[in-house]
Structure 1
Amino acid sequence: MSRFGRTEKMIFTGALLVLMVFSYFLYDDSLLFPKANNSELELIGAVAISQNDVRRKNLDTFSWLPASRQDSVYQNDSIFTGDRSEATIQLQDGTQIRIEPNSLITLNLKNGQMNLDLRYGNLTGELAQGASLTITSGQEEFKLESTPTNTQEKPKIRFNKAHSGTVDLKLLSGDIKYIDKKNQAVKELPKNAVVAVKKDGDIKPVEKPQLVLKTADNINWLRINPDDPLPFEWYGKGDIARYEMEISPTEDFSSVALSKTTNEQHAAVTEPLQPGPYFWRVKTFDRNGEAGITSAPHRMNISHLAGPEITTPLPAAQINLELKVKPQEELATSTEVQWKASAQLKNFTWQISQDPEFQTVLKEGQTATLAALTPRLSSGTYWVRVQGQTENKNLSPWSEPVSFTLNLAAHKEERPNRPVLVTKKVDFKAPTGQDRNPASPEAPKLAWKPVLQVKAYQLQIAKDVSFAETEKYEITQNQVAWSQFKPGKHYYRVFAKGLNGLLSEPSEVGTIDVSVGGLTLNPLKTINAVGQAPGPKETPISWSDVPFAKSYLVQVDKSKDFSHPQQMEYSTSSGALVLNDPGNYAVRVQALDEANKPLTEFSNIQEVLYTFRTPLIAPALMEPFNNASIFLQTEMEPFIWLEWKKVEGATSYRIEISDKPDFSRTLISKSLAGNRYLIKEKVPLGKIYWRVRAEAKGDVELSEWAEKREFTLYHQRNETFVK
């Protein structure tokens, strides 16, 4: 490439000079557009503080000029602050206006009062005592007046105007009045409360935001699929334009796993989250985009419904077996598949296939356990997989397919010998609370003779001899105590398990008879009833507890052969026995099982007596007759007989003798077994009163007093007292 010539250099230099000139014009347009004559403009203040990008422009000028500290501010000046910039304007009346970043205002003096047109942004005004400030919002004006006070505190107010046009005011200190044109009233601006001035001049306090989380705390989310929606709900009111929901693995939200912004009061999280504990909260933002309140965090836990994990066979396992088979039989065997799964999975579906895509499923089965036995398989490679299901019928993913290879060969060795039972019939009585002692066996004991060259035994126990439903136990010894026993008759058999897992023929079938010890009925209390008519009465009844008993059947009959018994069923070993009418009853009890069938024989018989009688009546007085006169001949004791009729049910009688008609003073008071009494004691002459009442069993039951009688004692010498 040739170098520049002289002509080209001159052209390049000229172009560079023109570019520099126009660049300066872009920075300072005073040469193109002369500045306004400031001497003709009204001075309203000065720039007290200017930081970073602060510009000033008058309506008479075309471009923005940098606003430096101590620059004058004139009528109709506009002040702009950029990002991370701010300025403070000192007005001549002492009012200070601090303009925050990203704001634009226009200042003008109208009728000697400052008029502030806040186009957008934020600013804080500090009014001088007695000063006023007019805020323009749309076509309306909003006038603020400083209220003179005795303190030196200047009124300070914060302004905020969003691009929507609404102006928010908040009084930070001091007292300020404003004129509500709509209501034609002068009002005090409330402190530390936001007041909104709309474009039409309407003035309303801004309601403080309120927020309540409605989704429960400590909630557990179970995701079947990683993107299953997790619904969250809350309630908010007040100055709220939008919400931000945050999910964090830490309570201080130092790291946020997920954040969602919404205008609604709910959100559905579909993003994948790792299982584990989390915290979530909601933040509010007002219409100006400023942060409001933040809710207290709520806890939650996320768990995934993972598929089962096959533990047996191991992946790509090579199963080498030598089987003893007859020529006409197929060389095949079954193998056991085992897996582990979360506790939420209750039922399982397993499949075995000859291909990893499971296009050809050889067998599919269902089970509630964590193991399954494959069908008889010949030599080859197979794949197995398992799927779980919860109680709510939710399906988990399939487990990872596990392959295994069967290498089967004919084996000349004999199967293990079948075990021989030591005891074919086992009788066991379940211990109860009364007959339990340390020497009693706690479970039926099963034993068989050991088989050579075996590593384990398989014990099978069933309720029927066909072993359709069996309980299987892997035993390494040749004896075991069946701790999971249940009452009734059971059948059992034993297989010997060879070194390569081949099972022997089953042993003979043995029986296990589990009986439950008898129960004992405790003695019953006699019922002694008194009343006008007999009726149902109850007495406590109890007996010994019986294991495995679901309920107890109590029989009551007036004969000990229980030919026509009254039957009652109890859920516990105690209660109340109800007898309908008086008599002597025989009682016995029997335990019932889950099927309401007898679990034990009937208990011992206890008798209970129900007696009834009517209440005692007052005795009928016989002698002496009422108002009788009795003359005494000597000065000895009077020897006067008092007699009354016997009362049915009475065991004794109480007699009282007094010389006062109200028996306020008792001369004689005695309890008698008979129905007559001889007065031997000395008593005063004159009127004597007496009465009797019937008693049963001492003073447990008393009749009313018989109507009193009286008699008069006289002496032939007319003496007042017998001496």
Structure 2
Amino acid sequence: MPDQSLSRSDKVLIFTSLIGSIIVGTILLRDDLLYRYIQVARKDELKVGEIISTKNDVRRRSRQSLSWYRASDKEDIYDNDSLFTGLDSEIKFNINNNQSISLGANSLVVIKPNKDEVVFDLQLGTMTTLTEPEKPIKIMYQGHVTKVIPKMNTTSIEIQKTDEGELTVSSATGEVDIQVQDKSKILQIKKNESASIKKDLKIDKKTFSIEFLLPKSNSEIWLSKEEKIIFKWRNEQPKIPIKLQISRSNKFDQINFEKNIEENENIYSWMPPKNKGHYFYRIVRFDNNDQISLNQKIDIFAKESVELISPIDKIILYGFENLRENELRNVGFQWEDKRGASKFNLEISNKTDFSNIIKSIALKSPHAELNLQRGNYYWRVGMQTPAAENFTSEAREFSVGKVLFEVVKPEIPIVEKPIAIKEPERPQIDSAATPNIIKAEKNIILKFKKDIDVRNPASIRKGILNPPTFSWEELTGANEYAVEIDKSEDFSSPRIIESLKETSFVWEDVKPGQYYWRVRGIGDNGKTSLASAPTKIEIKLPPPIITSPESDDQIVDKIAMLKQKKSFKLEWSEMPMTSAYTVIAEDKESITKKTEVDIEMLPNQVYEVKVAAVDIKGQRLSDYVTKNLKLNAKLMLKAPEASLPADKITVIAFGKVKNDPILFSWRKNPEVSDYELEFSGDIQFKNILLTKKVKTNSYILKSKLPSRLVYWRVRSRYGNNVSEWSIPRSYEVQGAI
């Protein structure tokens, strides 16, 4: 049997492959290590700036690289580097010429050298710059360099690449000059104006009627738990109804908060949700959602202490080791990384009141490692804001080695008798309570005044006769209430109506659709109750009113036309809040934006048609209205032309018994199926002697008729359609036939 053991060379090859696989796997898992090596190798390249800070998903790529790497603070930026930000992400960096740049969420920019300057190729998203006056920001657009030149100190300029590929420039703080090409005319935009550069390099300028005074755009706002943000603006058209909109996206494709503003109001206080971060705000017209202010951005931070993670409270570290008195052990500390914190202060003490601090370390990152000897310890972390405000966490206890914790006897408070009778305290809201919903309507079909303008949103809003009303029982301790309305049951993007003093809310600007709503109480110091269980409500429009008649009469002159479909115009009334209509006929559905449609129908048949209002996505907003339609078609047949016998002929009968037949004929009509003959003793055909129906254009009379003057006539038939009678003819029989 041959030796199947591996040779020395085989073992070396397998070992080398294994080591290579481990190295490659490590590089794939820790791409930052590879990038640090690349950074070292890039020292010969041209450095153009430095990254100041990154948030969440920020990546970068060099000119030679095909892969993207995580970007980190304090890294250098080189020519032709690409920077990318993901959802809810941001990067701030400086360029060598003292330009400060902020790249917003979902953005991509390539930094290109241009002689001794830098050009930004903004391929996606938004960048905000802060630069000195007369120092241009150069943007590569459509193969040309566009210069954006601030005219004042610390001018904040926002540059955005829209989904349509256009470039927009705006400034909320000062005047800016824009030059698309070196020799082109300079366009100046002032504060509260924007410029849109088209793909053909033409520029459109827009002036907004509303200017925000507070908060300042691109400002960082630190808020305590129950603190609100004040929005204040100047309105040049105070009589126009407006709405304040707040969104997490600069595209406002999802509105997180919306508030209708009454006439002449120019201030509103908003309580932001728990999840702080970037928010965008603007004002639009109430009636048509036209934007009448610049999009502005704020970054909200929470004034609160960090949450400690490890060591957990009262844990004993290295408890199974017999440590000597001065023997050291490594202890790792970790706490919550707070957005916006300028630094953290880690404090270690052996006293509960931290009167004797053993170690105090200032850190940028939310973790640290220290060597400590055996003993009892207390630790806490202070967070410092850019404004030098400090917020210190609660303290935690831990020990290194087998040491008992210090037992602190609680102080027994001395209760003094009150000198005076205190007023009864206001009842406090129960944070575990929920408001009870009453009279919850499930389905509402909106009713409107007859004189509304269906194309005017303001007229529609005022014309609703039965807006939904949400009602609930009064909650003990609640000073006001907040109602949330959302299209999803998880309330992922609710519209919030705050500061309601009553126990009901009338939804005046309602729109058709399926919604969920809930309410919570708000007590002293902003303390809130639990929200009520979601209540489902469906809002519908009334069905359209069909204005077309149920039938239409038509006359045709050919039988084939009775088998051909004809067009029937179906019309209905125009509906408010409606983008289109769905029409069902013969089990076929079609959608139209008009209030009429042509339906192809066969004559003399009944058709059931249905019409309902739908939105822009084709979702039904109303019930169907049903109507039966019929196209009545009458066949206009020509009267036959008699041929035989000749008019006023006399027929001689030979013999008293003999019954000689008489031939009656007329011109054939190919459009008919049969004919009808009548014989009468008078020309008015009041006294009918004989009636016959025949399939051909002739008839042989064999019946016995009176021996006197007889009148006859014929007409064509097709189903229920008959022609006029032919001109009467007569004949006389002498003797009995």
Global fold match (TM > 0.5): no
Structure-2-length-normalised TM-score: 0.36
Structure-1-length-normalised TM-score: 0.36
Select the structure of larger CA radius of gyration. 1
